Structure 1
Amino acid sequence: MSTTSPPVGYRAVLRVPGLRSVFVAHAVSMAGTVAAQVALSILVFERTGSPLLSALVLVCSFVPYAVGGIALSSLADRFPARRVLVCCDLVSAACIATMLIPGLPIGALLGLLLLTGIVAPVFAGARAASLAQLLDAELFPIGRSLLRAIAQVTVLIGFALGAVAVAAIGPTWLLALDVVTFVASAALIGFGTPFTPAVGRTGSTWQDSLTGLRYLRGNVPLRRLILLSWVVPAFSSMPDGLAVAYTVQTGAAATAAGALFAGYSVGSVLGELAAARLTPATRRKLVIPLILLSQTPAIAFIAEPSIPVAAVLLALSGSGYAFNQGIDPLILNVTGPEHRGRLFTVQTSGLMAIQGVSIALAGAIGTFLRPSLTISFAAVIGTAVTLLLARRALR
């Protein structure tokens, strides 16, 4: 009898029929989303001259996640995943296309952006639930890891090139390109991915969504794992809220803050790539070490390191985010198939919400303390809190 282990890593996931289309569609739609955020921020500022209204573009991109995650989470279970994914892409395409109407008020632009944010967690939940049906327990965390890696690379490249693209073709044409990316994503998913059936439909959308929340609240092991998946990045992302302030504190130009943002993203991708090549048992053993790695490097900010050193520290911190590959199988094991779409929708929306709150909180504290001290103290607290939560969740 052969003792050869089945292949692991991203290649094994991409060999599964239909999944190449899933990941290509993810890359295409992510690129369009980032482009839309950059284009809208510049377009709003050009029309109003208001930094506040321009900043609201990013707020409107993240805040609706909480609404969609709570009120619409059951859609990810009530209908076949492919249908949900295609509909979400087409709704997003329609919203962005409407933004192209000349003279549309700023309030309408932001309202349309809010709508795309509401459907985003439903899309993420349905996609994760479909992966759980298409991949076995060993490959499922690798599939989610690949989604995260693609997202980080796309954000890194998108924000770096977005302003250049706006300068070259203008924000309106960049928004039009975003419409094309969402339509392309819908086509890739609709014609290139396998069918997965709906798994749960008992009442109204709202009632089923509340049932999912009650299920999460009553399932103690699951609740602890989801909380851990929220709190770890909540602390490790705090330096993002102070990247510009810290850069100025060191005496460097504010534009050098981009190195700090890039450091965390690059580290996240490298961590995901490395962890994906390990066996499931090894990834499970590395959960706590990776969680500690995600928090402890930022403690060194108390010494006010130079920007290159700070970028390396944040890259180390970002690499620890691969801890998710160890807990994703545990989440899958303690979640009934009929609740997975709702669970992953809530997980995505909660993650976005808590990261937004933590970044805003870091910025608020950083107005009273030196940014270096704020980052370092947050890392100390984050190390203690996440270690405590990890021990409880993995007990």
Structure 2
Amino acid sequence: MRSYRAVLRVPGMRAVYAAHTVSMLGTVGAQVALSILIFERTGSPLLSALVLVCSFLPYAVSGVLFSSMTDRFPARRVLVTCDVLSATCVLAMLLPGMPVGGLLGLLLGLGMIAPIFAGARAASLAYLLPPDLFPVGRSLLRAIGQTAVLTGFALGGIAVAAIGARSLLIVEVLTFGLSAILIGTGTPATPPGERKRNAVRDSWTGLQLVFGNVRLRNLILLTWVAPAFSSVPDGLAVAYTAQVGTAAAAAGALFTGYAVGGVFGELVVARFTPSVRRRLVVPFLVTSQLPAVAFLTVPPIPVAAVLLAISGAGYAFNQGVDPLILNAVDPAHRGRLFTIQTSGLMAIQGVSIALGGVIGSFLAPNLTIALAGVLGTATTLLVARQALERTTSGAVTSLPGSSG
């Protein structure tokens, strides 16, 4: 891809994306290994499922309390520290006799670290890349992330069968270590930020930044509500296979459909000009939601997977929204903003998947998915109208009391 090649030609970017690839594979692999390890020890599907809960839950807490860490210190130092701490958490999981509660607690620790890492990485991209390449740079992160999720979940079970869950955890320690080395030795330094108050108070001002300004709040909400509604089918994939009378294993096609579409959408839209990406925000938003309405017809699994792939492709609307967010915030506070954005996205997706499961207990799975499509279309269009109408080119929002 021409646009991605332009990003990778920027000094240090190859190391950034190589580190992102190996750390994502490490994170997904750790989730697979822990799920299997805990199930083997306890035989409890509930405790095994808590692995995913413990992966989502900490994002909200970390985003509220520690988002300022990404602005207080140089991004490279934050990223390397996060990788070292993540490797330490996984290494501690390997201690003999580690109880299940300890394993889940360490997974919570990994979840607390992840949004700080993501925020610092996005802030470093905003510093190292020219503005016209920043949305393409974030697009490449998303494409790699989706590919790593597909690869990690597909190969994780095979790897556990081949070498065992504990050995796979050792591999995850090595991936985090490799990521730290790549970032520490292969990426340019970025300047440190200001540290006027304690970290928690600075993080609170980051929340004020997002929720206290209508324009910026609506832009961030737009990046949250679309995936919140479109992720509902993930929580109902197995139930839907039962509804259409196919084996539960067919749910894998539904799980992968959205991710495959997401990667395809990112690759295609990255070739468009910035003005075209901006004009396509609303059409892509509709694309991310409307296919779910077709579940009213109870489509067979292959058709359902295609519908979810189309929905995933619509997630490329972010390439048109990212520049608007970047222009709406002072550079000194980008780390906090991106950390909060990532934290809210993961937390809201977790909640929406859970709510979809609850509603799916009372409605048929296809009706629940279709309902999410209708509500998602209406909600995203409403938020988009507010966000895009209020956005003015070049407007910058600063934190209370800042000089930006």
1:146 aligned onto 2:120: no
1:81 aligned onto 2:75: yes
1:4 matched residue in structure 2:
none
How much has 1:215 moved relative to structure 2? 1.6
For 1:270-349, list aligned pairs within 5 A: 270-349=264-343
How much has 1:8 moved relative to structure 2? 5.7
1:169-195 CA-to-partner distances (Å, cap 9, x unmatched) read: 000000000000000000000000010
Q: Distance in 2 between matches of 1:201 and 1:143?
A: 28
For 1:32-47, list aligned pairs within 5 A: 32-47=26-41
How much has 1:137 moved relative to structure 2? 1.2
- TM-score, scaled relative to structure 2: 0.95
Match of 1:128 among 114, 122, 129: 122
For 1:165-204, list aligned pairs within 5 A: 165-204=159-198
How much has 1:201 moved relative to structure 2? 2.1
1:98-148 CA-to-partner distances (Å, cap 9, x unmatched) read: 111111111111111111110110000000000000011110000000000
For 1:224-235, list aligned pairs within 5 A: 224-235=218-229
Q: Distance in 2 between matches of 1:201 and 1:138?
A: 30
1:57-95 CA-to-partner distances (Å, cap 9, x unmatched) read: 111111001111110000000000000000000000001
Q: Distance in 1 between matches of 2:348 and 2:282?
A: 21
Structure 2 counterpart of 1:266, which letter? Answer: V
* SS in structure 2 of the partner of residue 103 of structure 1: coil
Structure 2 counterpart of 1:194, which letter? Answer: P
2:244 matched residue in structure 1:
250
Q: Would the aligned equivalents of 1:200 and 1:339 in 2 still touch at CA under 8 Å?
A: no
1:223 aligned onto 2:223: no
Which consecutive unaligned segments of at least 5 residues does structure 2 have? 390-404
Q: Distance in 2 between matches of 1:382 and 1:220?
A: 21
1:188-238 CA-to-partner distances (Å, cap 9, x unmatched) read: 000000101123322110111011111222222111100110001001111
- Which ranges of 4 or more aligned residues in structure 1 deviate by more than 4 Å? none
Which consecutive unaligned segments of at least 5 residues does structure 1 have? 1-6
How much has 1:378 moved relative to structure 2? 1.0
For 1:43-58, list aligned pairs within 5 A: 43-58=37-52
1:42-64 CA-to-partner distances (Å, cap 9, x unmatched) read: 11111111111111111111100
1:326-371 CA-to-partner distances (Å, cap 9, x unmatched) read: 0000000011111100000000000000000001111110011100
2:394 matched residue in structure 1:
none
1:300-338 CA-to-partner distances (Å, cap 9, x unmatched) read: 000000100000000000000000000000000011111
Q: Would the aligned equivalents of 1:199 and 1:337 in 2 still touch at CA under 8 Å?
A: no
2:352 matched residue in structure 1:
358
Q: Distance in 1 between matches of 2:353 and 2:384?
A: 22
Q: Distance in 1 between matches of 2:239 and 2:286?
A: 25
Structure 1 counterpart of 2:196, which letter? Answer: T
Q: Distance in 2 between matches of 1:237 and 1:135?
A: 30
Match of 1:9 among 3, 12, 22: 3
Q: Distance in 2 between matches of 1:200 and 1:355?
A: 32
- TM-score, scaled relative to structure 1: 0.97
Q: Distance in 2 between matches of 1:175 and 1:79?
A: 30
Q: Would the aligned equivalents of 1:8 and 1:139 in 2 still touch at CA under 8 Å?
A: no
Identity across the alignment (%): 69
Structure 2 counterpart of 1:246, which letter? Answer: Y
Q: Would the aligned equivalents of 1:224 and 1:393 in 2 still touch at CA under 8 Å?
A: yes
2:235 matched residue in structure 1:
241
1:61 matched residue in structure 2:
55
Q: When the two structures are aligned, how many residues end up with a matched partner?
A: 389
1:267-307 CA-to-partner distances (Å, cap 9, x unmatched) read: 00000000000000000000000000000011100000010
* SS in structure 1 of the partner of residue 97 of structure 2: coil
1:378 aligned onto 2:383: no
1:24 matched residue in structure 2:
18
CA RMSD of aligned residues (A): 0.9
